[in-house]
């Protein structure tokens, strides 16, 4: 049964896109069919992690939303990034968003039909026979946030220890609870090594009354890689990679029977947001 996993954060800069790409790779290496959709339309970029060059991209998510192509035509098999780890069972598909200035400007001015995007996600899951579909979201709370929280089987809510982020995450978590997200995990990123990770885990879970799936340490190796590739593939035994593997295990353990087809109706929440 397919699972929809939204990777979200209240603020930008939490590292969710890097985590999304690496979690997709980890699950694909375990023989799963995995899809990734870059719905961060105002500031896309996850295609760089998968080494998908601009000249290779004929259609994007933007083109689907504007009726120029089917969503399946904007999905690219990026399994080649796995190198020697690639097998017949390891499949990763990416739906990128456009990085063209005019396209981003149009999205910012006009928005898009969120119900059309929902239909496209359903079609993508069925056509590609995906085990997991990761949705890399745009930070913050808006109409699209409500859509992705509503259709997800699992939500990974990323945060850092910045006070603005901590307060904003509480608001996002409250919304997710009201939308009855089947399973939500917190992921705390960029933690300085001087912290007591065990005590910090307890404190975060106490504040939010939600489970923490991973505590990712701040490390210069991630900064040095600078999104030039996938961290897990370059450093499979690194402490960061080990935490990402733990998060992937949490995803696999969830046996929610709800699917994208039977999650609650999004229309009331969309209308509330205007």
Ranges of beta strands (E only) in the chain are 3-9, 33-38, 76-77, 91-95, 132-136, 154-159, 183-191, 212-217
pLDDT computed for residue 260 by the predictor: 53
In angstroms, rounded to a whole number, what is the distance separating the alpha carbons of residues 116 and 124? 12
Rounded to the nearest 5°, which phi and psi values hold at 14? -90, -5
pLDDT computed for residue 87 by the predictor: 80
pLDDT computed for residue 272 by the predictor: 47
pLDDT computed for residue 273 by the predictor: 45
pLDDT computed for residue 267 by the predictor: 52
How does strand 132-136 pair with strand 154-159? Answer: unpaired
* Cβ-proximal residues to 113 (8 Å cutoff; 6+ apart), any chain: 65
Q: Tell which residue, 75, 83, 185, has the closest CA to residue 130.
A: 75
**7 in Cβ contact with 220 (< 8 Å):** no
Task: Give strand pairing partners of 34.
Answer: 92, 132
**37 in Cβ contact with 166 (< 8 Å):** no
In angstroms, rounded to a whole number, what is the distance separating the alpha carbons of residues 45 and 106? 17
The two tokens of residue 86 are 């690639």
Q: Tell which residue, 191, 253, 227, 217, has the closest CA to residue 22.
A: 227
Mapping DSSP to helix (H, G, I), strand (E, B) and coil, where does residue 207 land? helix
Where b means 16+ CB within 10 Å and e means fewer, 51-68 reads: ebeeeebebbbbbbbbee
pLDDT computed for residue 233 by the predictor: 95
pLDDT computed for residue 54 by the predictor: 86
Q: Quick one: DSSP state of residue 256?
A: -
3-272 classified as CATH 3.40.50.300: yes
Question: pLDDT tens, position by position, for the chain (274 residues)?
Answer: 789 999 999 999 999 999 999 999 999 999 999 999 999 999 999 999 999 988 899 999 999 999 999 999 999 999 999 988 888 778 999 999 999 999 999 999 998 898 899 999 999 999 999 999 999 999 998 888 888 888 999 999 999 999 999 999 999 999 999 989 999 999 999 999 999 999 999 999 999 999 999 999 999 999 999 989 999 999 999 999 999 999 999 999 986 444 555 554 445 544 544 4
């Amino acid at each position: 049964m397919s699972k929809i996993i939204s990777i979200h954060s209240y603020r930008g800069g939490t590292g969710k896109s890097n985590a999304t790409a690496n979690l997709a790779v980890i699950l694909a290496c375990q023989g799963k069919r995995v899809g990734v959709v870059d719905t961060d339309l105002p500031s896309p970029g996850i295609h760089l992690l998968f080494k998908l060059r601009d000249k290779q991209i004929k259609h994007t998510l933007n083109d689907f939303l504007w009726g120029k192509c089917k969503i399946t035509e904007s999905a690219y098999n990026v399994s080649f990034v796995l190198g020697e780890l690639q097998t017949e069972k390891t499949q990763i598909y990416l739906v990128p968003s456009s990085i063209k200035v005019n396209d981003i400007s149009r999205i910012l001015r006009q928005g898009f039909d969120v119900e059309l995007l929902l239909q496209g996600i359903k079609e993508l899951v069925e056509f590609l026979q995906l085990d997991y579909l990761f949705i890399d979201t745009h930070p913050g709370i808006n109409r699209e946030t409500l859509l992705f929280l509503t259709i997800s089987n699992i939500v990974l809510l990323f945060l850092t220890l910045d006070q603005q982020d901590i307060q904003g995450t509480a608001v996002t978590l409250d919304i997710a609870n009201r939308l009855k997200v089947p399973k939500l995990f917190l992921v705390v990123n960029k933690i300085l090594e001087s912290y007591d990770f065990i005590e910090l885990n307890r404190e975060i879970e106490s504040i939010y009354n939600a489970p923490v799936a991973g505590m990712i340490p701040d490390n210069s190796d991630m900064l040095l890689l600078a999104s030039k590739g996938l961290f897990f593939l370059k450093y499979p035994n690194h402490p960061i990679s080990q935490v990402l593997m733990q998060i992937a295990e949490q995803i696999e353990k969830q046996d929610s029977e709800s699917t994208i087809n039977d999650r609650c109706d999004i229309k009331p929440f969309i209308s509330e947001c205007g």
